[in-house]
Amino acid sequence: MKYALLIYEADNAMEALSDAERQAAHAEYTALGAEPSCVGGAQLQSVTTATTVQVRDGRALTTDGPFADTKEVFGGYYVFDVDDLDRAIELAARVPAARSGGSVEIRPLVER
Amino acid sequence: MIDQVFREHWGRVLASLVGYLGDFELAEEAAQEAFAIAAERWPRDGMPTNPPAWLVVTGRNRALDHIRRERTLAAKVSLLTNPEAVEDDVDDVDEPQSPSIPDERLELLFCCCHPALATEAQVALTLRALGGLTTEEIARAFLVAPEAMKRRLSRARNKIKLAGIPFSVPPDRLLPERLAAVLAVVYLIFNEGYGGREQLADEAISLGCVLAQLLPDEAEVQGLVALMALHDGRRRARFAGGELVLLADQDRSLWDPRRIAEGRARLDRALALHGRGQYVLQAAIAALQIEDHPDWPQIAALYRELALRTGSPVVELNRAVAIAEAGHPAGALAIVDALSLDQYPYLHSTRAELLRRLERPDEAATAYRRALELTPGEPERRFLARRLADL
């Protein structure tokens, strides 16, 4: 089954890290991406670069920033192809954001 | 007779069908059909020699028919064919080559109690899948509207399928954590039943016995069954004419000696397995408490071990009670006063009792009143009111 691991980082979590810690976290993200079961993923630019679009009455309204102010920001995702949810949970638990105040949401993909 | 067969085999038959079909919803429908066919045929033709195997094969055939029919229907949808009922070919199930049906109830239990499901869903699914309770029975037991319970169950089944919750016994590295979740669900069901809904208490004990049979070397499983049996053995003595009776005042002739003996035997087995987990400790305490002359210092020591393990202030409260029983109400009061459990009625009733023993009736009365404010159950309320009046 294919699962998306949606990574939510605690706001400012990365800035709070030392250079060495940030490099270690980066290496862990790279290692997860190099897993044979990893079939996709991306890291997003910082939320300060976000633009939100809503269409109302046929007009596109564009605003700066994310739709809602939250303590956790969506930072990126992986897609893994593994046997079952338990494998996906084990991979999610290895995501550095999950242990530094953030969380990982596991969502199975719709299979066509 | 059919009812008894149903209760006895439902869990095994459903487990086997979930394992075979890989789909909870389909498996439940198939199991239901198989039991319905059995209810019609067995009284007429006699019981098969291997009822669960018969039921599993019948259920499999039914499910395969459905799948086949759906495919055919999808292919011929414009023809609007009305497929005729397919006659099952199950009469040869009793032949020597009939398949032996592996017991997959453990897989089913771990699936139902998977931490990716909400606790209420785990409980409802476990009662439905392993206990064979109907949706209506579960709804009644948890004071939920049947429609709401139906939705809860179907959402849970749906999540198992779409999220890929495994139908398997977890690998060793996950087993302790996952087994703890299963035991928590069983104990929760038991506690729901202990408040008077006896069917749930019985269900929890039989689930515990199934687990103990399938995982005979897990001390905590034995410990939980011991704990439940030791409590359950005193069920009939806990209330007299609708009034709550304290352990010390219970009519011991109302205790169920068989249940209590079973509890003690399970506890011995758990201790022989070097069990020292929370259920084993609680069972050991329960066994000591029903001795003719309880060893209160020993009970207090076990509560201390349990408190260290669980970090629970409620356990500390119980330790205080044991210390008071051992003859040190002042020391007990000091422990109670250090706990932050202000919303917990038993904290206040315990304080009241300790203050009463220390001959501080005014403070005791205040504490009884606070306990009354927080206690919803009528028998417990009447009990507290009597204590307050007796001051």
Highest mean pLDDT among B83-87, B200-204, B238-242, B348-352 belongs to B348-352
Do B323 and B304 contact (CB within 8 A), yes or no? no
Q: Do B163 and A106 touch (CB under 8 A)?
A: yes
Residue A80, strand partner residues: A3, A38
Helices B198-214 and B105-112 meet at what angle, rounded to 10? 120
Structure confidence by residue, pLDDT tens digits, B50-80: 989 999 999 999 999 988 888 877 666 544 4
Structure confidence by residue, pLDDT tens digits, B239-274: 888 787 888 889 999 999 999 999 999 999 999 999
Q: Total domain count for chain A? A: 1
Do A47 and A73 contact (CB within 8 A), yes or no? yes
Q: Whole-angstrom Cα distance, residue B349 to residue B330?
A: 15
Q: Whole-angstrom Cα distance, residue B15 to residue B168?
A: 11
Q: What are phi and psi of A39, to 5 degrees?
A: -115, 10
Residues in B closer than 8 angstroms to A83, CB to CB, are: 164, 166
Question: What is the predicted ipTM?
Answer: 0.87
> Domain containing A73 — which CATH number?
3.30.70.1060
Above 70 in pLDDT, residue B92? no
Q: Which of A3, A85, A108 sits opposite B166 (nearest CB)?
A: A85
Chain B residues with CB under 8 Å of a chain A CB are: 114, 116, 162-166, 168, 170, 174
Q: Rounded to a whole number, what is the distance in Å from the CA of A41 to chain B's nearest CA?
A: 19
pLDDT value of residue B88: 47
Q: Whole-angstrom Cα distance, residue B36 to residue B33?
A: 5
Handedness of CA A57, A60, A65, A70 (dihedral sign): positive
Per-residue pLDDT band at B96 (split at 50, 70, 90) = very low
Higher pLDDT, B193 or B327: B327
Q: Rounded to a whole number, what is the distance in Å from the CA of A6 to chain B's nearest CA?
A: 15
Please give the interface size between A and B, counted as residue pairs whose CB atoms are below 8 Å apart: 23
Do B93 and B53 contact (CB within 8 A), yes or no? yes
Q: Whole-angstrom Cα distance, residue A50 to residue B151?
A: 38
Tokens, residue B262 = 């079973």
Per-residue pLDDT band at B7 (split at 50, 70, 90) = confident
Mean pLDDT over each residue of chain B, to the nearest integer? 89
Residue A72, strand partner residues: A10
Q: What are phi and psi of B36, to 5 degrees?
A: -65, -40
Above 70 in pLDDT, residue B32? yes
Q: Which of B164, B168, B174 sits opposite A108 (nearest CB)?
A: B164
Q: Whole-angstrom Cα distance, residue B371 to residue B350?
A: 9
Q: Whole-angstrom Cα distance, residue B271 to residue A81?
A: 44
Q: Do A1 and B164 touch (CB under 8 A)?
A: yes
The pLDDT of B300-327, averaged and rounded, is: 95
Q: Whole-angstrom Cα distance, residue B339 to residue B332?
A: 11
Q: Whole-angstrom Cα distance, residue B162 to residue B117?
A: 12
User: How big is the CA angle at B346 (ends B290 and B197), to the nearest 5 degrees?
Assistant: 65
Q: Of B285, B290, B317, B286, which Cα lies nearest the Cα of B301? A: B285
Rg of chain A on CA atoms, in Å = 16
Residues in A closer than 8 angstroms to B116, CB to CB, are: 85, 89
Domain range for A31: 2-108
Q: Do A86 and B174 touch (CB under 8 A)?
A: yes
Q: Do A84 and B116 touch (CB under 8 A)?
A: no
Q: Rounded to a whole number, what is the distance in Å from the CA of B25 to chain A's nearest CA?
A: 18
Per-residue pLDDT band at B97 (split at 50, 70, 90) = very low
Residues in A closer than 8 angstroms to B156, CB to CB, are: none
Q: Do B116 and A85 touch (CB under 8 A)?
A: yes
Q: Do A85 and B114 touch (CB under 8 A)?
A: yes
Q: Residues B251, B253, B256, B257: what is their CA dihedral angle, to the nearest 10 degrees?
A: 120
Stated pTM of the model? 0.84
pLDDT value of residue B82: 40
The pLDDT of B328-334, averaged and rounded, is: 96
Do B183 and B221 contact (CB within 8 A), yes or no? yes
Q: Whole-angstrom Cα distance, residue B84 to residue B5?
A: 30
**Average pLDDT, 10 consecutive residues per value, chain A (112 residues):** 96 82 94 97 92 94 83 93 97 95 96 83
User: How big is the CA angle at B240 (ends B235 and B243), to the nearest 5 degrees?
Assistant: 105
Q: Whole-angstrom Cα distance, residue B249 to residue B286?
A: 16
CA-based nearest residue in chain A for residue B117: A85
